[in-house]
Amino acid sequence: MDDRDWVLIEVETAGLSSPVVVEVAAQRMRGWAPQGPAWRRLINHGPDMNQDSSRIHGISRAVIERDGEAPSQVYAELAHYVSGLPLVAFDLSQVLHRALQPEWVRLNLPPVGGEGFCALRLAQRLLDPVPVVSGKLQTLRQYYRLPERTPASALGELETTVDLLSTVLQPLALRRGLHDWQAVCEHAQATWYPSRLAFGEFKGRHFREALTDPALHAWLEWLAGSGSPRSANMGRWYLAQLAEPAPEMDDAIAQMEALATRGAQGEPTVAAAPVQAGALVFVKPEVEELKALIASARVRLADLEARYTQERHDVEVTQARLFGLLRPHYQQRDRLRLLVSYRRQYLDALMYDGEDAAEAVAQQCQEAWQQSDAEYEQVAFEAAEQKALPEDEARELKSLWRKLVRLFHPDRFAHDAAKLAIFQQLTSEINRARDSGDVQRLREIAQDPNAFLLKQGWGHLDFTDSIEAASLRKLFETLQLQIVLVLDALNELRRDTRYELHRLSQERVGYLEDVARAHAEALDEEIASLAVESGALSEEIEMLTGRPAPGALL
């Protein structure tokens, strides 16, 4: 790879149903290292731009109109920068096949460069069993604690991909003997499936456990015999891998960056021996080394779980406050919606099926109205229960999660269906308590997991760590998997508009009340319109029947 030139590329898209590229960033590479400064341009499509979007991936329309250049000019400059070299992107299908190539066709422009490899596909293979199938580059950045780059931009994504390639993927590629461009491309394009099964009754199990588990082996044989070519190819691939010797050590275990002492993106510092960012390879990790890895991974997972629990709870508290401000408007709006809907149904029944059928509709309306009111009462009760966590409980969260993360080891129960079912019930209950901010429930489970299990009538589990290296390796993999999943969940939470509402309401005094007033005005307009329609339907019912609309329809 060292003497091969190629170009890493990234885009941001927005607007029409077919992606319209508004930012292009590129970086010439030689081997695994960047060569010279990155190239970046904004594109102003003029009237072709979606006029309804005021912001495009953090880039305002004003910036696009001020700094953007015509598409033909930008792509001519890109062609000069690329000079016919192969293009690589983190998600090559999205960047090249679904964004750039259709745009070049739409604009009647010649294609730029050749096609290289997909960095996402390469990462999936080199980092397995760390799950990266979701293709979330920022989750990988946080997982490996790579630097935060230019936020919300193609340039930032490009810079993060450079960091991932040079710091994390390069040493793992060399470890696998991928020394030249062709070998890297072939490895990225080769047929591959995750080591841990992604679906089915054995979801989460490592496929090599089929060597000692007849039920899992039979399932892979069943998959290989499937009538679906895609499923059959997957099954046959797993069976073929079983016939090959297992690697002496999974490359993902070499991702020692999980032990880094420096925090990133607000993560607390982990108390452990300093290591560099990226991948540090140990040829034969012994039991004590694995125990150290596990201890560090548990600390990191506990910190992430505590942060997610706290932030999700904060969001729910803000939503509860907003509901309290808007409940009368929402409830009146929904009552009128029901009224209009059932008055229409009443008239249809009256005209085509007679008064008895119409009276049945009136009764259904009454019942629906009562159910709606009951649901509002329940939501109001739950909202009233949403309180900001006191400081002592907020501090306690981290301590609770340090106890709870010791339970994450489903591999321990993989060969016992009954025990695995109990473990899954317990995990579901922990996740439910986490997502609802039920600190008391988390406290009860953390204090004595088996006492909690017995109280539920679920049975008993052994949570002690085995000292066998193989078992510890599985535990370490499980913890890494859980770290990635929590990072994903935390990132999804922070992308939610409800999180943005909470953040702004904390930063600006009276912001939540202003938002509520704006919503209330819109709801009141809808209420007024529904009231007019409801009144007209009531008059029609009275005209046809000669009497007022039935009580439930007043």
Cα separations in angstroms, 164 against 33, 277, 304:
11, 10, 21
pLDDT(252) > 50: no
Scanning the structure block, which residue is given the tokens 């499936």?
Answer: 193
The count of other CB atoms within 10 Å of the CB of residue 465 is: 14
Question: For residue 275, what pLDDT is reported?
Answer: 40
Measured distance CA(297)–CA(255) in Å, rounded: 11
Residue 275 belongs to a domain: no
In a domain? residue 346: yes
Examine the domain organization and report whether 100 and 200 are in the same domain. Answer: no
Q: Yes or no: say if 107 and 137 are a contact pair by the CB < 8 Å rule.
A: no
On whether residue 432 sits in a domain, the answer given is no
The answer to whether residue 445 scores a pLDDT higher than 50 is yes
Q: At 145, is the secondary structure helix, strand, or coil?
A: coil
The confidence band for 199, taking pLDDT boundaries of 50, 70 and 90, is confident
pLDDT tens-digit readout, 373-410: 899 999 888 888 888 888 888 888 889 999 999 988 88
Instruction: Classify residue 309 by burial, with Cβ atoms within 10 Å: 0-12, 13-18, 19+.
Output: buried
For every residue of 317-377, which 3-state class applies, written as one string? HHHHHHHHHHHHHHHHHHHHHHHHHHHHHHHHHHHHHCHHHHHHHHHHHHHHHHHHHHHHH
Contact 112, 78 (CB under 8 A): yes
Position with higher pLDDT, 47 vs 349: 349
Q: Which two tokens stand for residue 413?
A: 């129960």
The predicted pLDDT at position 554 comes to 42
Residue 62: band (very low, low, confident or very high) from pLDDT cuts 50, 70, 90: confident
From CA 34, how far away is CA 274, in angstroms rounded?
Answer: 27
**Upstream peptide bond of 274 is cis (omega within 30 degrees of 0):** no
Q: Are residue 22 and residue 163 in the same domain, yes or no?
A: yes
For residue 514, the model assigns a pLDDT of: 96
Work out the percent of the chain whose per-residue pLDDT is above 70: 87
Examine the pLDDT at 191 and tell me if it is beyond 80: yes
Classify residue 87 by its DSSP letter: E
Q: What is the mean pLDDT of residues 81-97?
A: 96
Pick from 172, 189, 206: which residue ends a domain? Answer: 189
Q: What is the mean pLDDT of the chain?
A: 85
Residues 162 and 213 in one domain: no
pLDDT at 268 over 60: no
Residue 221 belongs to domain spanning: 196-246
> Are the beta carbons of 302 and 405 closer than 8 angstroms?
yes
Considering its fold, how many domains does the chain have in total? 3
- Give residue 8's pLDDT: 98
Q: Which residue would you say has higher pLDDT here, 1 or 83?
A: 83
Q: Are residues 176 and 306 in the same domain?
A: no
Q: Is 170 exposed, middle or buried (0-12, 13-18, 19+ CB in 10 A)?
A: buried
In a domain, 165, yes or no: yes
Residues 6+ apart with CB under 8 A from 78: 24, 26, 39, 41, 112
| Position 89 confidence tier, pLDDT thresholds 50, 70, 90 | very high
Are 386 and 299 within one domain?
yes
Average pLDDT (245-252) is 59
Please say which residue of 163, 189, 215 terminates a domain. 189
pLDDT at 46 over 90: no
Can you tell me the mean pLDDT for 170-183? 92
Taking the C-alpha atoms of residue 424 and residue 430, their distance in angstroms, rounded to an integer, is 10
State the pLDDT at residue 277.
Answer: 52
Residue 278 maps to a domain: no
What are the pLDDT digits (tens) for 312-324? 999 999 999 999 9
The mean per-residue pLDDT over the stretch 506-528 comes to: 96
81 and 179 inside one domain: yes
In a domain, 272, yes or no: no
Residues 544-554: what's their mean pLDDT? 67
CATH number at residue 105: 3.30.420.10
Reply yes or no on whether the pLDDT at 68 is more than 50: yes
Domain membership flag for residue 260: no
Using a CB cutoff of 8 Å and minimum separation of 24, what contacts does 291-297 make? 291/465, 291/472, 292/259, 293/253, 293/256, 293/258, 293/259, 293/476, 294/465, 294/472, 294/475, 294/476, 294/479, 296/258, 296/259, 296/270, 296/272, 297/258, 297/259, 297/476, 297/479, 297/480, 297/483
Section 507-524 average pLDDT = 96
**Residue keyed to tokens 């473990």:** 423
Section 491-499 average pLDDT: 92
Q: Are residues 235 and 350 in the same domain?
A: no
Same domain, 73 and 124: yes
pLDDT of residue 289: 81
How far is it, in rounded angstroms, from Cα 522 to Cα 329?
10
Same-domain pairing of 23 and 141: yes
Q: What is the pLDDT of residue 478?
A: 86
Place of tokens 């600390």: 299
Q: What angle do CA 28, 275, 472 make, to 5 degrees?
A: 110
CA nearest neighbour of 293 among 305, 281, 309: 281
Q: List all residues 6 or more positions away from 178 whose beta carbon is below 8 Å from its beta carbon.
A: 1, 184, 187
Residues 179 and 203 in one domain: no
What is residue 262's predicted lDDT score, i.e. its pLDDT?
A: 35
Between 134 and 81, name the one with better pLDDT.
81
Amino acid (one-letter) located at 228: S
Comparing CA positions, the residue from 293, 280, 238, 282 lying closest to residue 473 is: 293
**Mean pLDDT in residue range 236-252:** 78
pLDDT at 476: 87
pLDDT for 131: 66
pLDDT at 550: 65
Measuring CA to CA, which residue among 454, 438, 448 is closest to residue 407?
448
**Domain termination residue (choose one: 165, 189, 213):** 189
Looking at the predicted structure, is the pLDDT value of residue 269 above 70? no
Q: Which residues pair with 118 in a beta bridge?
A: 89
Same domain, 182 and 227: no
Whether residue 417 has pLDDT greater than 90: no
**Predicted confidence (pLDDT) per residue in 106-163, tens digit:** 999 999 999 999 999 999 999 887 766 566 898 899 988 899 887 778 999 999 999 9
Residue 303 within any structural domain of the chain: yes
Q: Is 521 exposed, middle or buried (0-12, 13-18, 19+ CB in 10 A)?
A: exposed
Q: Which of the residue ranges 114-123, 332-341, 407-416 would you say has the lowest mean pLDDT?
A: 407-416
- Shared-domain flag, residues 124 and 98: yes
Give the tokens for residue 449. Answer: 């997991």
